[in-house]
Structures are given as C-alpha cells and as structure tokens.
Amino acid sequence: MDQKKILLAIDGSEHSNNVVEKAIEYAKLMDAGIILVYCHEKFPTILGEPYRDDKIASIIKESEELIQPFLERVQNETIPVEDRLMEEPAGKIISDIAKIENCDLIVMGSRGRSNLTNLIVGSVTNSVLHTAPCSVLVVR
C-alpha cells in the first residue's frame, strides 16, 4: 500500500508556521508524507541576458531560503518530506500537484501574503477549494 500524501502549501508568511504545525499533526495521524509547495513570483520574460538569468537565480535562491526553516521543521519530526518550488499562479498549481501526486489532503492557510489578496478573502484558497481533487484543510 502506498503511503498517504499531504500537500502542504505555504506562502512564507508568519501564518505559514501555523499551517506547517497543522500539517505535521495530520501527517502523524495519517502516517503520511508531506509535499511542501511554495509558489514564487513569475520569472521575468522581458529582461535581456544576463539580467534575466540573474533575476531567475535570485528568485530561486530566495525561494530556497524561504522554505528551508519549514522543511527543517517537518524533517525534525521524521516525517518524509519533498519540496516543490513552483511558479505562480498558486491556485492552479496547488490543485494540479495534488492531482498529479494523488494527494489525500491539502493543508493551506486561509489568506495570502499581500493585503490586496486578503481583500478577496484568500483568492488562492478559494481557487483551490473549487478545483482540488481531494479534501482541503484551511488553517486560520
């Protein structure tokens, strides 16, 4: 029998700590592994070389640094974890990964990082709720 999988979506905000803790709790209950997903900003398309390559490298480096404490937190609990650094749009990507990876649960926050996004009551969360192939746990 395959191990159950939880997709853990973080945005790097302080609220992500609560989301990670809830995902760890459920992973222990379900004896599941975690796929940690972070969607970074889009790569530039207009910049010329070498500026474009430098910007892409910077985005990837910042993303890796951002997810590292969350990865370490899950690893400290000896829960199997994989990470996925993806390019926006997060709402579509999260559901797509959950479908491809045959996840049993998505754990994510109720709001995004930006205040503008929060005006739409968590547009990424709303999108995932409507397109997810599995259950979604929204953490406040």
Q: 110 vs 22, 106, 113, 137, CA distance in Å?
A: 13, 12, 10, 9
Give this prediction's pTM. Answer: 0.90
Mean pLDDT value across residues 22-43: 97
What's the CATH code of the domain at 115?
3.40.50.620
Query: Is the pLDDT assigned to residue 120 strictly greater than 50?
Result: no
116 pLDDT higher than 60: no
Q: Provide the mean pLDDT of the chain.
A: 91
What is the band of 112 on the pLDDT scale with cuts at 50, 70, 90? low
* pLDDT value, residue 122: 67
- Element holding 66 (H helix, E strand): helix 51-76
Domain that holds residue 55: 4-139
Return the C-alpha torsion angle 49, 54, 56, 62, nearest 10.
Answer: -170
Distance separating the N- and C-terminal Cα atoms of the chain? 33
Has residue 115 got a pLDDT over 90?
Answer: no
Q: What is the pLDDT of residues 44-86, one digit of tens each?
A: 988 888 899 999 999 999 999 999 999 999 999 999 999 999 9
pLDDT band at 118 (very low <50, low <70, confident <90, very high): very low
Count the domains in the chain: 1
b/e per residue, 67-89, with b = 16+ CB within 10 A? beebbebbeeeebebebbebeee
The whole-number average pLDDT for the span 5-14 is 94
